[in-house]
Chains A and B, each alone.
Chain A
Amino acid sequence: KQEVTQIPAALSVPEGENLVLNCSFTDSAIYNLQWFRQDPGKGLTSLLLIQSSQREQTSGRLNASLDKSSGRSTLYIAASQPGDSATYLCAVMEYGNKLVFGAGTILRVKS
């Protein structure tokens, strides 16, 4: 059974700092890996999707990498801002169209 783990569970950083969120998964047989953002009381917003054949994707200040063979992904946030405060969720898409989520990293960026 696929298991997705996110480390750390919570992170508090000062504004302007670069930071890395980690995601690991146990079964490398995946279609893709997606990073989502969730604000309190809201739904999920897709940030980046990395296909299983890709190594990384970039969008603005966000960069996500994927090492499928080792079962790891990282989300790099450059020059963090208070508006980046949210829960970040990692999810892998398995064969059979099933998305398996990690429990998330709660990020707080202090001004």
Chain B
Amino acid sequence: NAGVTQTPKFQVLKTGQSMTLQCAQDMNHEYMSWYRQDPGMGLRLIHYSVGAGITDQGEVPNGYNVSRSTTEDFPLRLLSAAPSQTSVYFCASSYTGIDTQYFGPGTRLTVL
């Protein structure tokens, strides 16, 4: 059981580039979510999904897209990276969304 996995671990982008952060879980969890963590601000919810084919916005969704075609995968897309998106990104999953959340190890993204 690998739990929640994220790739890549580190990424450097130039302003305007696009990329996809990958997240996968092997626990058959219905609920998956993406957070960003910035110094002094805690974690903030970007997007979440309550099941395959269903996604919704969190607190800071602008500049990010998501889709959920399978139960296992929940990729996060940056369409046109900006320096303000420099952050550490965490993916999380749980069975129902209101139970224990399991977090991935994070992706550290720098946008120059």
Q: List, in ascending order, chain A residues with CB within 8 A of B41's CB.
A: 103
Whether the Cβ atoms of A43 and B103 lie closer than 8 Å is yes
Whether the Cβ atoms of B105 and A101 lie closer than 8 Å is no
Q: List, in ascending order, chain B residues with CB within 8 A of A102's CB.
A: 42
Instruction: Check if A76 is an interface residue, CB within 8 A of chain B.
Output: no
Whether the Cβ atoms of B42 and A89 lie closer than 8 Å is yes
Q: List, in ascending order, chain B residues with CB within 8 A of A19's CB.
A: none
Task: Name the CB-closest residue of A to B57.
Answer: A98
8 Å CB interface, A1-60 against B: 4, 31-32, 34, 36, 41-46, 49
Q: Number of contact residues on B: which range applies?
A: 20 to 34
Whether the Cβ atoms of B101 and A42 lie closer than 8 Å is no
Instruction: Check if B53 is an interface residue, CB within 8 A of chain A.
Output: no
A32 to B94, CA, bound (A): 14
Instruction: Check if A97 is an interface residue, CB within 8 A of chain B.
Output: yes
> B3 → chain A, closest Cβ, in Å?
9
A102 to B31, CA, bound (A): 21
A93 to B35, CA, bound (A): 14
Residues of A in contact with B (beta carbons under 8 Å apart): 4, 31-32, 34, 36, 41-46, 49, 89, 91, 93, 97-104
Other than A36-B103, A103-B40, give 10 A-B pairs with Cβ distance below 8 A: A43-B103, A43-B105, A45-B103, A97-B31, A97-B97, A98-B58, A99-B33, A100-B59, A103-B41, A103-B42
